[in-house]
Amino acid sequence: MTLSAIRTESEFVVRDGDVELLRYVFVPDSPQLESPKPYLDPLRTRAGRVVSLFRPWDHVWHKGIAWSLPVVDDQNFWGGPTYVHGHGYVQLPNDGTQAHIAVTAVEEGQIARFAHDLEWITENGRRLFTERRELTARLLAPEAWALTFVTEMTNITDAPILIGSPTTKGRDNAGYGGLFWRGPRSFTDGMLVTADGTGTGSDIRGQRHEWMGFAGRHDEIDATSLLVMVDSAANPHHPPQWFARSEEFAALNPAPFFSEELTIVPGETVVFRYAVGVADAGAHAATALAAHLRELL
């Protein structure tokens, strides 16, 4: 089982035969309000079914899967308004950019791999981090494939940087931030899956788990797809609390800063690793898929 890859000046595309599995846009044309950042969209199963959503009207800064951080000191690398305790969400001039610098690796074959360097720049032009990021895609089975995502972020300032969430700023149960997936509209009211069972976002949001899955149904065709995310045991604050939704919209996010800030001192590099599985399957396949993904980390 082999994969083909195409790299342009702004995108990295991975194909499984005639099916485009992923498109990684590393030089986006997003407006500043949406905190320009690389993103993965569309994502598809091996059968070609789309399992991501790009720029939904309710949260235009949601883009498939993206590494998004809403609270970086007083800066916002998520997009849109910032949560301010006592005032709610306020639009501030603090929507930063994750700017591409250079491609460092491209590979296709048994795996498809893409690595690049970035820098994190505030809206007023201050550089906070340099980052080395690597994505790898591989086929697991006739009905499943896996994506691994690794980020290494280095504080290049002369002061500690605190990463948090709206919850660490005072908003209850809103600890989103990190590797965030937004699912298709048709997945709304779908099924969240953990090692302990199934439930809805209101049931599970804020719980700690090593992995979590989402099973959703498609429009137009009688089919269900499954997406599973696994947190590396080496990640800070593992196992993470999860920001997950099934009501209102479909979302999964292992949120390492949900209720506890992470301080990165000057010159320090923090590393996060994740594995994401995409399958033409239902909730029953989540545990086995999570076990395969764990082996990749």
pLDDT of residue 124: 98
pLDDT of residue 172: 95
CB atoms near residue 109 (< 10 Å): 11
Q: What is the pLDDT of residues 195-217, one digit of tens each?
A: 999 999 889 999 999 999 999 99
> Domain residue spans in the chain?
4-296
Fold of 4-296: Beta-galactosidase; Chain A, domain 5 (2.70.98)
CA distance 45 to 123: 36
pLDDT of residue 140: 98
Given a contact cutoff of 8 angstroms between Cβ atoms, the answer to whether 143 and 280 are in contact is yes
Q: What is the pLDDT of residues 14-70, one digit of tens each?
A: 999 999 999 999 999 999 999 999 999 999 999 999 999 999 999 999 999 999 999
pLDDT of residue 1: 77
User: Quick check: bond before 42 cis, omega within 30?
Assistant: yes
Q: What is the DSSP string of the chain?
A: --BEEEE-SSEEEEEETTEEEEEEESS----GGG----EEEEEB-TT--B---BS-TT-TT-BBEEEEEEEETTEEES-S-EEETTTEEE--S-B-EEEEEEEEEEE-BSEEEEEEEEEEE-TTS-EEEEEEEEEEEEEEETTEEEEEEEEEEEE-SSS-EEEE-TTTTT-TT----EEEEE--GGGTT-EEEETTEEE-HHHHTT-B-SEEEEEEEPSSSS-EEEEEEEE-TTSTTSSPEE--BSSSS-EE-EETTSSS-EEE-TT-EEEEEEEEEEESS-GGGHHHHHHHHHHH-
